[in-house]
Chain A
């Protein structure tokens, strides 16, 4: 994993990660993208927060719909 993290070709920017975070809300990511995103999230607090924000949006929309 260490060599993978060092490889710039494989490293995602937060901007790229944001697209994948959205995409994974709508279906499973292909293996390569999933692995790169997981790696990115392992060291990036900002994207971890965005991931949580996207989850919150999903929950919020369901709760908005069903609240009285």
Chain B
């Protein structure tokens, strides 16, 4: 995936073709995050160009994908910051009664949540990851975007607040909604126990 030059062997030269091989991988993530084919394509092209321009900065101590994902994350944050400023949504306060219908009058779950015996095993199961993807794609856009930034692009809460002008409690609320909606969506499919 890379060749070394010089006598020291310390310089990594990444060919553009090697970067371009990662295009489908980056595109998959960008699509889930941006929910817009054209934007995702443009975004990934920018990422690959930027990565190529700064290829000397790639040290090879992290994997190429990890490095590219960090560039993609920054690019996406820039895009979303602009979009969200143009179309701000009012911060809906998190009421105690949120997801009320999932709970009975005593605050217990109305339906017993499914047990997951072995998360790693479940993720290996045919179709489970596709079911998760389907459920993520169905989340309300902004909630899904915050969730994907967090879980797929590995953005820390602090970074989300700082870069996207969100309060800590708003980040928590969005992620809480995403997780509760996802678990409800997956429960409909038996959470792998079907």
Within 8 Å by CB of B186, from A15, A22, A53, A58, lies A53
Asked if A15 meets B122 with Cβ closer than 8 Å, knowing A46-B108, A53-B186, the reply is no
Q: Taking chain A's interface residues, is the majority helix, strand, or loop, or is none over half, making it mixed? A: helix
A63 touches B172 (CB 8 A): no
Within 8 Å by CB of A46, from B65, B113, B136, B186, lies B113
User: Does B53 make an interface contact (CB < 8 A)?
Assistant: no
User: Does A14 make an interface contact (CB < 8 A)?
Assistant: yes
Asked if A60 meets B132 with Cβ closer than 8 Å, knowing A15-B107, A54-B183, the reply is yes
A49 touches B112 (CB 8 A): yes
Within 8 Å by CB of A49, from B100, B116, B132, B150, lies B116
User: Does B120 make an interface contact (CB < 8 A)?
Assistant: yes
Could you tell me which B residues sit within 8 Å of A by CB distance? 28-29, 65, 94, 96, 99-100, 102-103, 106-109, 112-116, 119-120, 122-123, 128-129, 132-133, 136, 148, 150-152, 156-157, 171-172, 175-176, 179-180, 182-183, 186, 191
